[in-house]
Amino acid sequence: MAIRLGETAPDFTAETTEGTINFHDYIGDGWVVLFSHPADFTPVCTTELGMVAKLKDEFAKRNTKVIALSVDPLNEHNEWVKDINETQNTIVNYPLIADSDQKIAELYDMIHPGASGKATVRSVFVVGPDKKVKLTLTYPPSTGRNFQEILRVIDSLQLTANHSVATPADWKNGEDVVISPSITDEQIPEKFPKGHTRIKPYLRITPQPNL
């Protein structure tokens, strides 16, 4: 059964390229991006894992860890990491889960019925400090993921978790946001002292409140 937004991310213990990890312990009091791959030594995923390594500092600024998963054994992961480091001019600096028995892939419903056992293991889960799933994405094998978009979503998730706002289409950190419909016009001056623009009764814009 597919994992839905707001559900607790299933816990697991797994062997990784950085030792044995318990997922909920790994999350700790921060955020985590768990992302999976069809198999080791695949071209698109090689570029993705390299990009995530280059962006690790950006994730860290957001109190976010990353962890990858593939349904191949640990020895193949370690060999693949060498290729990633070489071809992407980086150092893989986060753990890769070895899920050769596909238990975690099945736990997170990463393998779709009727497909190859590896072809559809290509998902993204963003999990918050409360261990709840905040975002799910599934990509086809032919399309590389946009990790700048995932960073943008994390910015939105963290902002909206702490302020009564939502982020509009194509929003980027630093831009104006939408005041939540649950906030009355009378509450706005106290909650949003930077001011606001009332476009429609349901569409009220304000500067990003945490800047």
- Let me know the angle formed at the C-alpha of 16 by 73 and 88, rounded to the nearest 5 degrees: 85
Catalytic hit among 14, 45, 96, 151: 45
Structure tokens at 190: 């106290």
Known active-site residue 48: no
Its sign, for the CA torsion 24, 26, 29, 31, is: negative
Residue 28 has a CB neighbour count (10 Å cut-off) of: 11
- Residue 115 Cα distances to 111, 118, 120, 136, 206, angstroms: 7, 8, 7, 20, 46
Order of strands, edge to edge, in the sheet holding 64-70? 19-22, 13-16, 96-98, 64-70, 31-37, 123-127, 133-138
Q: What are phi and psi of 137, to 5 degrees?
A: -140, 145
Which residue(s) pair with 15 in the sheet?
20
Catalytic (active-site) positions: 45
